[in-house]
Structure 1
Amino acid sequence: MSELILERLVVGYGDGAPVLDGLDLTVADGAVVALLGANGAGKTTLLRALAGLTPARSGRILLGGTDLTGLAPEDRVRRGLALVPEGRGVVVELTVEENLRLGALWRHRGAARQRALDEAFELFEPLARRRHAAGHTLSGGERRMLALARALIAGPDVLLLDEPSLGLAPLVTAHLLGVLHETAARTGTTVLLAEQNVTGALSVADRGVVLNLGEVVADRPAAELSGDPRLRHAYLGF
């Protein structure tokens, strides 16, 4: 089970006011949830708190009934949680294949590792063509593909993505989101997707959660949220 539950989560930076102040949220096992909101709404802070990169001041983070709140980031990864941060996630000195092998290290061995690599290259054909290329030679779209592929190859129970389509061409964005949707459906991976591309995110999500100033102001089925013009105009800008 990979149900993710946040209870009264308070997160901030330094001595400043909390960015998230008593946030409650449940992400069902196997669900794809689009985390939406304007810049400064708290999306990245929430993902960093889940990954353990920004400690919670109070509250609890439960994954499958296990309390992750006090665990180090690497221990959360071992419990099945993976974060693809905005614009990062690739070791630029390594080749595409070396990056993927790094992602597969602790989840796969021997023939299983090779099968996982083959599956990653089938999902992301542009990476297969550049498997021996160094990370620093990849385009922005290829780097995003590689970051997502490296996270997926580890077989996470919960995948956290921060603005995966930022700055990408529409066709690349559509490919990334399509792979994400297909993989989540096939593997049952729980996905929390923070995106400025509201239309794209809602097209692959089961539910949409809208944040405003660190609070959840809407949590609805994706189709219902997309079809509510008042909510869209008020918080999503379209």
Structure 2
Amino acid sequence: MSALSCQELTVGYGDGAPVVDRFDLDVEEGAVVALLGANGAGKTTLLRTLAGLQPVRGGRVLLHDRDLAKAAAEDRVRAGLALVPEGRSVVVELTVDENLRLGGLWRHRPRARRAAVEEMYALFPPLERRRAAAGHTLSGGERQMLALARALLARPRVLLLDEPSLGLAPQVTAQLLGVLRDTAARTGLTVLLAEQNVTGALSVAHRGVVLSLGAVVADRPAAELAADPALRHAYLGF
């Protein structure tokens, strides 16, 4: 069963040529799918469009068969679609604990919210040690953990992640991707992960979808994609 589906999705900026052109994709419920490609391939544009931050020119965006192509971003969040954008977006004036409580504000009643926050601390022990620290004092890895934890607090059905490993040390990247993989396996969360860290992304994904100039050039099981040297050299740079 598809949790997220794009059908003939076309997106562009202004009057320019489409950045994503007649794009089709099915993400199965509970799957982790890696969205791969070089800079300019259309990965960020696609995720922003799915989240409702970029209007579509044509096509459909289905979340469990509900068409959200014309829905506002906040309505998509309420339907269960969450985006963690590139750049480790946290409210830097707030503490770690305040950021987390903000993430669960509309989804949980007060007692359940506190329990959900404690669950995030168990998933991300470095955050637990910095509960009272302001966002602007966190390292890049801690900020990315906080952004991911805040998104998970909203209990999304589908999570969109844009370059979560950007600028992070390999050890931090491995920890983040490991939490993501384990959470998806434990809860049935569906994940669409846009990454330039191809090796890391394919190590936790079930499938890899390779974009080039807004079009799909490969859609294969992750292990098969990682083992294809011709495709890796042509589109993924390794």
State the TM bucket, normalised to the shorter chain: over 0.9
Q: How does 1:132-147 map to 2 (within 5 A)?
A: 132-147=132-147
Alignment of 1:205-224 (within 5 A): 205-224=205-224
Distance 1:48 1:88 in 2: 15
User: Runs of 5+ in structure 1 lacking a partner?
Assistant: none
Query: Residue 21 of structure 1 contacts residue 215 of structure 1 at CA under 8 Å; is this kept in 2?
Result: yes
TM-score normalised by structure 1 residue count: 0.98
Q: Alignment length, in residue pairs?
A: 238
Contact 1:4 1:63 in 2 (8 A): yes
2:70 aligns with 70
2:144 partner amino acid = R
CA displacement 1:33-62 (0-9 Å, x = unmatched)? 000000000000000000010111110000
For the residues of structure 1 that align with 2:201 and 2:38, how far apart are their CA atoms?
A: 14
Letter in 1 for 2:150: R
1:33 alignment counterpart:
33
Query: Which letter does structure 2 place at the counterpart of 1:62?
Result: L
Question: Structure 2 stretches of 5 or more lacking a match?
Answer: none
Q: Percent identity?
A: 77
**Conserved 8 A contact 1:2-1:157:** no
Aligned partner of 2:131 in structure 1 is: 131
- For the 8 Å contact 2:20–2:214, the answer to whether it is kept is yes
Q: State the one-letter code of the partner of 1:104.
A: G
Q: Counterpart of 2:166?
A: 166
Q: Which residue of 2 aligns with 1:91?
A: 91
Structure 1 residue 89, shift from structure 2 partner:
2.2
On the 8 A contact 1:30/1:190 being kept in 2, the answer is yes
Counterpart position of 1:234: 234
Q: Could you say which residue in structure 1 is the equivalent of 2:52?
A: 52
CA contact (8 A) 2:88 2:140 kept: no
Task: Letter of the 2:173 partner, please give it.
Answer: T
In the TM superposition, residue 2 of structure 1 has moved relative to its aligned partner by 6.2
Partner of 2:19: 19
Q: Deviations over 1:44-96 (max 9, x none)?
A: 00000000101111100001000000000000000000000001320111110
Q: Deviations over 1:134-189 (max 9, x none)?
A: 11111111100000000011110000000000010000000000000010111101
Instruction: State the match for 2:43 in structure 1.
Output: 43
Write the letter of the residue equivalent to 1:191: V
Q: What CA distance in whole angstroms lies between the structure 1 residues aligned with 2:197 and 2:169?
A: 12
> How far apart are the structure 1 equivalents of 2:86 and 2:2?
23
Task: Write the distance in 2 (CA, Å) between the matches of 1:114 and 1:101.
Answer: 8
Distance in 2 of aligned mates of 1:203 and 1:61: 27
TM-score scaled to structure 2, two decimals?
0.98
